[in-house]
Structure formats: structure tokens, C-alpha cells
Structure 1
């Protein structure tokens, strides 16, 4: 993916990921004129969409207020390169995608899939949004979140130290503690 990074002058990449799921309502929201125009107004120039198992195919779009270069794919062995090159990440609410993005220090909008039953992912996304680590949206509200987001209001995510938990588990199971 050489040359797709945010390192080129004036290039601002939005990377959208749904992981291995099917989340057509997110892809349709990204494909809407409202969302794409809002991204253009915020200065984004490139949109890369990882659409997973979904059936909805987004359009390659040129906006009225400029050009938003759009590309999409279903799966990749690793999305790490896409995440590193992104100026903004829009993701499903999977914990792996969320924490990988936060560890890279990338601005993140998590879009909750309202079609999932017993959706524990929404609790995680809403809690992290309350702590100002990310923005949280639903497919119908994504355009509003993009339009009103202030990236400077996000706080840097500091991963926790799992050592005390590991030591308790080691002690419980009778393993030596280093």
C-alpha cells in the first residue's frame, strides 16, 4: 500500500473497517452524500473502506465540493498499514479494532451496529466515548458526528497495566510470581 499513507502533503485518509462482519448499514451511511460531503468539508481527501462480508458495494464518489478519492476491499491479511496511514478511523464496535486504533493514537469514530442482539459492544463504545477517547455514532447519526466532531477534544488513550491481574491469577493457580 505504498503511497496511500497520510505522509503525502495535503493527503488526509479516512479508513473505514467493519472487521470480518457484515455491517451494510455502516457502509451505506459512509456511501451517503451527506457523510461524504461532511468528510470533504473537514478536509479529508481519501476514503478507504474495508467492507467485510457485506453485500452493499459503495460507489467511487467525487463530491460537489471537491474530490474524495474512494477505494474499497473486502478483506486484508492485516489492516495495520491502513490504520497507521489514516488521519481518521471509522470502525465497527469490535474491541480489537477499537483498541488497536486507540493504541496507534488515531482519532476514532465507533459506529454501533444496532442490528446485533444483546449488543455489549455498544456499552464499550459508549463508555470510551464518555471518557473522551473516541466518538460514538449509529449509522443514522454518523453524518452529524462527523459534522460536529472536534478532534482536539479527544484525550489520548493510556492502556492499563495488566500486571496486577496476571499476578493474582498466577497466585490463585499456584504459579511462581516473577
Structure 2
């Protein structure tokens, strides 16, 4: 049997992503999440119109809040993270070495987030989908096939700066 993802952390960042916030709470999506083991969702909803609070829907415990100073603990405690495609959030989750499914907000103008999600999926660091394909994506992806995100190497920048500014 594949890994179970009992604790899922969802985040939309500081933005408003009403479609995802409302869609996650529907029976078909919660059923799809339960099929991969979900028992508990911690959901950072940002400026979206849904109401924060603690709920139980279709057998899943859901804790929804707007903002915290840091989502690091939520990421650390999660078995799986589902996120908007914000660069900062993606990098924080990947650096924490957590499996990541990015849901692209198709309502954004000039959607640079899609470009980021596509490249990170090509590099096998995450999977991405849209709200329309979320349920089918959850049914087919294998998070164990993802490659860990490479650790930052500050010596690369230092060596580059040394090569540029060293008097010869």
C-alpha cells in the first residue's frame, strides 16, 4: 500500500483564492483526500471569503485560519502540502522536504505562477494541477517519485563574487 497522507496542510498564501477554498470543502474533493488517507486538514485561507473556524465535514477534521506569522510549523507537521503556486510558499515547502501538490489559480492575470509550477514539475520536485483537475490528480500521482529539492549552496555565490571582483 502507498503512503497515507493523514495530515494535510493547505495554503493560499496572503492572497484570495476563493475557488480553491470553496472547492476543498466539497464532498467529492474531501472523498478524494480521504482516499489518500486524509483525516485532518489545516487550511490557511488568506483573504478568501470562507469563514475561518474548526469544522468536521465528511469525516475530515478541518481547521481553517486566515494568517499566522509563520506557516513553518504547519508545513513541518503535514504529511502532504497542497498550495497555491506562490514562489515563496513553494520554496519553503520544498526546502522542508515535504511532498507538494500545487493548485494553480487560473484567475490570475499574467500567470507567472503557472510557469513556476510547470518547471518544478518538469524537474520532478512537485506536481501541479488546477481546481478542475484536483480530484483526478490526487487519484494518479505518486509523491514517492518526486526528487528532493537541492539544498542551497551559498559558496556558489561567494565563489562567483570572488571571481568577478578579484583583481588580476
Q: TM-score scaled by structure 2? A: 0.87
In the alignment, which residue of structure 2 is the partner of 1:72?
64
Matched, 1:60 2:59: no
* Runs of 4+ deviating beyond 4 Å: 169-172
Q: Could you list the per-position Cα deviations for residues 17-74 of structure 1 after superposition, in whole angstroms to 9, with x for gaps in the alignment?
A: 01110011111221121111011111111011100011133893432xxx21111001
Report the CA distance shift for 1:167/1:127 in structure 2 as closer, same or farther (over 3 A): same
In the alignment, which residue of structure 2 is the partner of 1:92?
84
Q: Could you list the per-position Cα deviations for residues 85-111 of structure 1 after superposition, in whole angstroms to 9, with x for gaps in the alignment?
A: 000100011111001100111010011
CA contact (8 A) 2:38 2:60 kept: yes
> Is the partner of 2:119 in helix, strand or coil?
helix
- The alignment of Structure 1 onto Structure 2 pairs a total of residues equal to 163
Q: Which runs of 5+ in 2 are unaligned?
A: none
Whole-angstrom distance in 2 between the partners of 1:31 and 1:130: 29
In the alignment, which residue of structure 2 is the partner of 1:147?
139
Aligned CA-pair RMSD: 2.2
Matched, 1:121 2:113: yes
CA contact (8 A) 1:27 1:51 kept: yes
Q: Could you list the per-position Cα deviations for residues 102-160 of structure 1 after superposition, in whole angstroms to 9, with x for gaps in the alignment?
A: 01110100111111111111101111011111110111111111121212111111134
Matched, 1:14 2:37: no
- Pairs within 5 Å for 1:163-174: 163-169=155-161, 174=165
> Is the partner of 1:43 in helix, strand or coil?
coil
CA contact (8 A) 1:29 1:142 kept: no
Q: Which runs of 5+ in 1 are unaligned?
A: 1-9
Whole-angstrom distance in 2 between the partners of 1:100 and 1:110: 13
Q: TM-score scaled by structure 1? A: 0.82
